[in-house]
Amino acid sequence: MPILVMKFGGTSVANIDRIQRAAKRVAVEVAKGYDVIVVVSAMSGETNKLVGYVSETSPLYDAREYDAVVASGENVTAGLMALRLQEMDIPARSWQGWQVPVRTTSAHSQARIEEIPTGNILRKFAEGMRVAVVAGFQGVSPEGRITTLGRGGSDTTAVAFAAAFGAERCDIYTDVDGVYTTDPRICDKARKLDRIAFEEMLELASLGAKVLQTRSVELAMRFGVRLRVLSSFEDNGETAGTLVCAEEDIVESNVVAGVAYSRDEAKMTLISVADRPGVASAIFGPLAEAGVNVDMIVQNISEDGRTDMTFSCPTDQVLRAEKAMQAAKESGAINFQELVADKGVAKVSVVGIGMRSHAGVAAQMFKALAAEGINIKVITTSEIKISVLIDRKYMELAVQALHDTFGLERAA
């Protein structure tokens, strides 16, 4: 029988009633003739509660025990879902990560999936099981310890299973009914997309759109897994939601597919750094070692052989970055006059595969922002995206202006 993967996020399984609702959706797919792999998250709020327990018990916790605790939320949901399906006379059983087994690296709390052997689950399907309910977000290390995949890891679990089992599709059920051209809470003209290319979804996810976890989109693109984003709270037909697919599966699309934003950005500038070979490595090496996620980088060179180096990072990593730069200065690796941190900025980006073949997108973007009196602090581009740093107070205005400028309320 063909295999379908269905993933239910925390809000979709937040209580027994919602688990029952999700089980009915699974039953519909079983009735169509699918063997179904259901990947579940912990009930909404459960993971945060478990993380709190760990921090309260041991502030400097052992990462292996942290994983053992926080992975338990998914185990509960998987067991409850399997029980509900059994009550509906659907042969189902739950699977924890180590039972499949989902083999991962040993990087506790940030493990990466290395292999998902299909034998155990396929054997049970052959024996009459119709639904395998898999606890998402978790796996097992080479040492035999429970591992977790990081926030949003259940999305990654679902896509990895779809790839491993050659599933017809991977349906991601969440609290929104698809992928929108921008956040509907900010722009009331935001339009749900019927289809979006993997590359566009990957950029939007990495730039702040929270519909799908970035690693899950990377996996889907690498293995050609067709993703469908659906609402758990609406009746869904065959064409519901948003299909994330290969570029060639999209007949025609707008030049710009969407506008993304990230509110919690900081702009950091090292003033008067010596302009010499290796200075960039001397700066960004220590930042990487300190776990600072550097994004946008701009270098200004002055006439006296000194340079100002500007980069952006999440606001919650500013202190870490400051400590790393101060340590590098004290060690003599770099020398700078001052480190200035601006925590009042936001990143706004436009994304679209159509930008590859259309000129003038950047000019349109900058003209639209200028018309609203919004000053651009930093600019970065790629083949299918343009990102700018602006004052945070103008973020919503910028998103609305760009959405209007590129006519995203209209389909191609």
Q: How far apart are CA 131 and CA 35, in angstroms?
A: 6
Same domain, yes or no: 22 and 118: yes
In this predicted structure, the answer to whether residue 398 has a pLDDT above a threshold of 90 is: yes
**Do 31 and 165 sit in the same domain of this protein?**
yes
pLDDT value at position 239?
Answer: 67
- The total domain count for the chain is 2
**The token pair that represents 84 in the structure block:** 């509900």
Q: Kindly state whether residue 14 falls inside one of the protein's structural domains.
A: yes
In which band, very low, low, confident or very high, does the pLDDT at 56 lie, cut at 50, 70 and 90?
very high
9 marked as part of a ligand binding site: yes
Separation between Cα atoms, residue 402 and residue 139, nearest integer Å: 42
> What are 16-41's pLDDT values in tens digits?
999 999 999 999 999 999 999 999 99
268 & 384 share domain: yes
Q: Tell me the β-bridge partners of 382.
A: 385
Check whether residue 170 and residue 293 sit in a common domain: no
- Three-state SS for 296? coil
Domain boundary, last residue among 140, 158, 175: 175
Same domain (yes/no): 277, 385 = yes
In a domain, 188, yes or no: no
pLDDT at 412: 65
Q: Is 180 marked as a binding-site residue? A: yes
Tokens, residue 331: 């060690």
DSSP single-letter state for residue 286? H
Give the pLDDT band (50/70/90) at residue 355.
confident
**Residue 180 backbone class (left: φ over 0; alpha: ψ -120 to 50; beta: rest):** beta
52 marked among binding-site residues: no
Of the candidates 119, 141, 175, which is a domain's last residue?
A: 175
Encoded tokens for 28: 């519909």
Instruction: Return the beta strands (E) in 276-409 as ranges.
Output: 297-301, 306-314, 338-351, 378-382, 385-391
137 is in an annotated binding site: no
Contact call for residues 322 and 341 (beta carbons, < 8 A): yes
> Which CATH number does the domain housing residue 86 bear?
3.40.1160.10
- Nearest by Cα to 50 from 7, 109, 98: 109
Average pLDDT score over residue span 42-69: 94
Q: What is the pLDDT of residue 23?
A: 97
**Would 105 be classed as within a structural domain?**
yes
Coil, helix or strand at residue 96: coil
380-395 pLDDT, tens digit per residue, is: 988 899 999 999 999 9
CA 403 to chain centre: 22
Confidence of residue 209 (pLDDT cuts 50, 70, 90): low
Q: Does residue 140 have a pLDDT over 70?
A: yes
Q: What CATH number is attached to the domain comprising 299? A: 3.30.2130.10
Do residue 10 and residue 145 come from a single domain? yes
Would 119 be classed as within a structural domain? yes
DSSP state of 375: P
Which residue is associated with the tokens 């994304």? 351
pLDDT band at 278 (very low <50, low <70, confident <90, very high): confident
DSSP conformation class of 205: H
Contact 103, 140 (CB under 8 A): yes
> For residue 137, what pLDDT is reported?
96
Name the burial class of residue 332, with classes exposed (0-12), middle (13-18) and buried (19+) by CB atoms within 10 angstroms of its CB.
exposed
Q: What tokens were used for 211?
A: 């519909």
Q: Is residue 336 part of a domain?
A: yes
Classify the C-alpha dihedral 46-47-50-51 as positive or negative: negative
Clarify whether residues 266 and 168 are in a common domain.
Answer: no
7 has binding-site annotation: yes
For residue 208, what pLDDT band results from cuts at 50, 70 and 90? low
Flag whether 273 is marked binding: no
- The pLDDT score that the predictor gives to residue 300 is 79
- At 215-245, the pLDDT tens digits run 899 999 999 999 999 988 877 666 688 999 8
| Together in a domain, 67 and 162 | yes
Query: How many whole angstroms separate alpha carbon 138 and alpha carbon 110?
Result: 10
pLDDT in tens, 182-203: 988 889 898 989 889 999 998 8
275 and 162 in a common domain? no
322 is in an annotated binding site: no
Ligand-binding site membership of 47 (annotated): yes
Q: With contact defined as beta carbons under 8 Å apart, do 251 and 351 qualify?
A: no
Decide if 220 is inside a domain.
Answer: no
Asked if residue 8 belongs to a known ligand binding site, the reply is yes
- Token pair listed for 37: 């792999």
Same domain, 27 and 171: yes
Kindly state whether residues 12 and 120 are assigned to the same domain. yes
Confidence of residue 343 (pLDDT cuts 50, 70, 90): very high
302 in the same domain as 165:
no
Phi first, then psi: what are they for 104, rounded to 5°?
Answer: -130, 175
The answer to whether 169 and 232 are in contact (CB under 8 A) is no
Is 64 annotated to bind a ligand? Reply is no
Mean pLDDT value across the chain: 91
What tokens were used for 374?
Answer: 């919004």
Give the distance between the most distant pair of CA atoms in the chain: 78
Domain span holding position 300: 259-405
- 61 phi and psi angles, rounded to 5 deg: -75, 160
Give residue 333's pLDDT band: very low, low, confident or very high (50, 70, 90). Answer: confident
In a domain, 234, yes or no: no
Span 308-320, mean pLDDT?
Answer: 92
Q: Is 185 annotated as a binding residue?
A: yes
Residue 300 forms part of a structural domain: yes
Determine the pLDDT at residue 66: 95
Tell me if the bond preceding 142 is cis, omega within 30° of 0. Answer: no
The pLDDT confidence band at residue 368, using thresholds 50, 70 and 90, is very high
Instruction: Say yes or no to pLDDT of 107 above 90.
Output: yes
Confidence at residue 252, expressed as pLDDT on a 0 to 100 scale? 66
- Which residue, of 140, 175, 210, is where some domain finishes? 175
pLDDT surpasses 90 at 9: yes
